[in-house]
Chain A
Amino acid sequence: MKKYDLIVGLEIHFEPRTNSKMFCRCSADFWEKEPNTQTCPVCLGMPGALPVLNGKAVELAIKVGLALNCQIAEYTKFDRKHYFYPDLPKGYQISQYDKPICYDGHLVIGPKTFRIQRIHMEEDVAKMIHENDYSLIDFNKSGVPLFELVTYPEFRNGQDAYDFARRLRHIIREVGVSKADMEKGQMRCEPNISVQEHGRYGYKDGKIWPIGDYKLNPKVEVKNIASISFIKKAIEYEYSRQVDILKNGGKLIQETRSWNNEKGITEHQRAKESAEDYRYLPDPDIPPLRISRELVAKIRSTLPILSDQRKKFYVEECGVRESTANAILEDIKFAKQFLKITENLKASSVNIAANLALGTLKEYINENPNVKLDTTLLKSVFLALTDALNTEQINFNTAREILKATLKNPKTNFEQLIKTSTQTSNSSELENLINKVIAENPKPVADYKSGKTAAIGAIIGKIMQKTKGKANARLVQELIVKILES
């Protein structure tokens, strides 16, 4: 048993996909724009300028809150968080303090549930560029909408934190709230990491508390994690660094550290000697919001079925293999297309459709990334193909060929093709053919008879060759077994 436990909570910022900034009409798309060209008196913090809330951002916050099983506040307000820094033009950031829009959420990952404390809305600060002996400020980013999600200190290893962040990113992309590209800063993940002696602390109501005279070790916040895959590394590095210090009799301090991915280490940024006093003040410029349950219900009805629920449906009710379901759902765009194409299929047909889609359709999309899929057409194609496969009118191979042909040329008369490709299910005709093949191929026959049952594949292959793929494979196999074992 290790002496020290790892305790991690996550603070994750992400930029919602709005056209304009949080409190003004400037464009929120600041990426690679000429510096200070997307500004106005409001986001420059000019005297007398007033913030006006972006309603779209509120809708997106509710949307992501619902997707993460949060409660949506009936009453929510904005507060001013004060501190001086050149990237903060008003001397305060408009954020949400004690009445966040979303609270008490959770995310289930496999057998584990991780609780989310809150999600709130705020505005981003400007971008600073430090040169040798001067600094530049670009206010294009100032006032860009930002959501901050805070988890409880629920994570006991780096893998869990990584899984959570990854899953979270998938969900916010899936519901269309954010592109969550970490390299563009659209998603930032900051773990709060501490190590505590095993058995000497308790965890209740989302709080770590000391048992007896035990004094809790301070937590370290790690910033500048530029990619989701670094989260685990950074946490694991911090664990060993902190444990090493304690083992060597050192003392930990509350600090902010920065992840240096090249060196694979964290570096001290600044100490947090005492809790900073942000002098929160309800923002008198923005009236508090009352969020009607009707609005919440309306937004809930626009939520897509999340991949977790869909996976459950595919695997448990449609009999899709888990790996197949994962492969389909991993790619949000493809998963959406698949959902559209299969929306009128019976549960029993979805499995076949999944195999067909993942093989042929995905291959086609990969080869032709710019082609716009005609999902309405594909919907009828998939319905016809899965019906034909269910009734054994055609075999899987034929279905693939017909799908390919339709993808290549949407004008293909796929119904006609299905009719003309009807497979041979005539037993006596097939029996004659099988007997002929057995006579011509003594080797696989001998192999089969000596116990190598896999050799039957070779015999089936020959039959398919002779029927140009039109034989009913299931029937052929049955007949071969019957003949060989009689």
Chain B
Amino acid sequence: MLNFLTITEAHRGLIAKKFTVFELVQSCLDRIKVTDSYVNSFLTVRSLEELMPEIKHAQKRIDSGDYTRITGIPYSAKDLFCTEGIRTTASSKILEDFYPTYESTVTQRLKEAGAIMIGKTNLDEFAHGSSTETSAYKISRTPWDTKRNAGGSSGGSGSSVAAHQCIFSVGTSTAGSIQNPSSMCGITGLKGTYGRVSRYGVIAMGSSLDSPGPMCKTVEDTAIVLEIIAGYDKKDSTTSTRKIESYSNLNRDTLRGLRIGVPKSYIATEMQNGVKRNTLNAIEKLEELGAKIVEIDLLKPDYATAVYTILCRSEVSSNLSRYDGIRYGNQPNSENSTTIYEYIKKARSENGFGLEAKRRIMTGTFALSVGYSKKYYEQAQKVRTLIIEDFKKAFKKVDIMLSPTTPNTADLIGGALANPLYGELADIFACGIAVAGLPAITVPSGFVNGLPTGLQLFGPHFSEKLCLEVAKVYQDNTEWHRKIPQLGVNSAKRGIDKGQKFRSSGSLPNGKSLNSNPAGGDK
């Protein structure tokens, strides 16, 4: 049951010698063993044997007093982070047997701080999607109802944290890929300002948008992880040299004097009634906690969605050019090709890219073609500048803004594949933030029919600390994040009413139901 702890709790236990790093890691691995067939979080799980040197090293650091707050803490990483010697697939067949010889900066920094990466989590193929349904391997499910997807693209990270298979996870957000699964799985997730967290070693989707970030059980944990992974990286020229604040030093206990903006156009967007209700409740709560709520005029989120779609597809078509089957990745039998172009075509199409990746490559290629790039790509760049200005203007009137994280709760499996613009709709509140490169945090804001909803708080560039502070005050005064999903049969019917408070009850989720078959199935 150690796997149910937060970073702060686990750290305290390790320091007080209540348990060992080995026990903590083992409890997570055990949990994965019994629950992963329900939620499909992992593409790769490292064995205890493989982890032993890291466990021993972390224990030694703890024993000798040379530790950080995440030393010995087991975590999962989205399978988009390159990890030296550990298979990294981006959920694509084209990278099925890819073992990087280098480490991403984020996982490197976590490693240096002593955290233990126990596995790589499922995502939409190359992060293209908001449901993990485009993954070439499996569909991750929200532990709140395993007939439903975990959101995406960092869906496996979301479900691994929500199902307590690890203490925390790291994901990436291009437009909502951290916020969306965090919301669908009922956890806390943060995407930093573009350039706050290094992209080095993160398999690129939309390079001008990609922002890695923590996905955790609490705001407090999120701040701890961000403090370790954020900051300038000489291997990524787009990272900011600005000094990182001490994020984990969150002292605010009231929202008095704070102006929180509510964008009218966002609230007016079509969304589930329950999501709206929870958002309005959250607004009320924030007001109660002392914040001044200000209605704000912002451009309709649809513009940002259009801009995002064009920029992202264009960059995707470029970023995926390197997968040609020559140096690594899917290598078709060359004897069946008479020219190099035939070979490259085979590597990319036959057992290479999936449908969504191909669709994005095609749209992006079109948007960048002579005669069309002026109409699409260049136009989108111009509108992007307007969107940035629009946010800047709004942040003169308020300190921070909020919106629902997503307009809907977790969708049934199969829902995403039916709509090629599924993600754009699911992430309508994330596109503007992504395009403008703003920091955003999502925290659980309640449940609708047993499914979690999220509240998104976002601020001006480099206002991560403020986002964390406001989110923490909210979280300290709500209980949503303490609910634990019940895995197993009929889980769809379980939710807030039957959810248990781990710390108050000390009991584990219903173990009996683990023997039942999960809903849905692998692709």
A interface residues (Cβ-Cβ under 8 A, vs B): 41, 44-53, 80, 82, 84-86, 89-92, 137, 275, 277, 279-281, 284-287
Contacts and interface: CB of A to CB of B under 8 A. Distances in A.
A280 B322 CA distance: 16
Contact of A48 (B104, B208, B314, B368): B104
A275 B235 CA distance: 36
B340 interface: yes
B249 interface: no
Contact of B101 (A41, A50, A80, A277): A41
Interface centre among B81, B324, B377 (most CB of A within 10 A): B324
A73 B206 CA distance: 28
B233 to A, nearest CB: 9
Interface in B301-358: 314-315, 317-318, 320-324, 326-328, 340-341, 344
B369 interface: yes
B95 interface: yes
A205 B318 CA distance: 34
A40 to B, nearest CB: 8
A84 B324 contact: yes
Given A44-B327, A52-B235, A287-B237, A277 B370 contact: yes
B199 interface: yes
B8 interface: no
Contacts of B200: 48-50
Contact of A47 (B100, B344, B369): B100
Contacts, number: 104
Contacts of A51: 237
5 contacts: A46-B82, A47-B100, A47-B323, A48-B104, A286-B237
Given A47-B82, A47-B98, A50-B237, 5 more contacts: A84-B321, A86-B326, A89-B326, A91-B322, A284-B208
A239 B418 CA distance: 61
B260 interface: no
A45 B321 CA distance: 10
B238 interface: yes
A86 B95 CA distance: 18
B314 A91 contact: no
A281 B202 CA distance: 20
A49 B201 CA distance: 5
A89 B322 contact: yes
- The list of the 9 closest CB pairs from A to B, nearest first, reads A91-B321, A284-B208, A284-B207, A279-B368, A48-B201, A47-B203, A45-B322, A48-B82, A90-B322
A449 B506 CA distance: 131
B373 interface: yes
B84 to A, nearest CB: 10
Contacts of B344: 84
Given A47-B90, A53-B237, A277-B369, A82 B321 contact: yes
A287 B324 contact: no
A44 B324 CA distance: 12
B459 to A, nearest CB: 23
A91 B377 contact: no
B126 to A, nearest CB: 9
Nearest to A83: B321
Interface string B46-72: 000000000000000000000000000
B318 A279 contact: yes
Contacts of B102: 41, 46, 49
A51 B234 CA distance: 10
Contacts of A275: 370
Interface string B192-233: 000000011111101110000000000000000000000000
Nearest to B378: A282
Contacts of A287: 237-238
Nearest to A137: B326
A279 B237 contact: no
B37 to A, nearest CB: 29
Contacts of B328: 46
Nearest to A86: B326
A89 B320 CA distance: 11
A82 B377 CA distance: 15
A90 B315 CA distance: 13
Nearest to A80: B318
A281 B318 contact: yes
A278 to B, nearest CB: 9
B340 A86 contact: yes
Contacts of A50: 199-200, 235-237
Given A82-B318, A279-B368, A285 B201 contact: no
Nearest to A139: B327
Contacts of B44: none
Contact of B238 (A84, A137, A284): A284
Contact of B318 (A44, A92, A286): A92
Interface in B356-374: 365, 368-370, 373
**Of A90, A91, A284, A285, which is in contact with the most chain B CB atoms at under 10 Å from its CB?**
A284
B179 interface: no
Contacts of A84: 321, 324, 340-341, 344
A286 B208 CA distance: 10
B6 interface: no
A46 B326 CA distance: 11
B121 interface: no
B41 interface: no
A47 B92 CA distance: 12
Nearest to B317: A279
Contact of B88 (A47, A80, A89): A47
Contacts of A53: 237
A92 B90 CA distance: 21
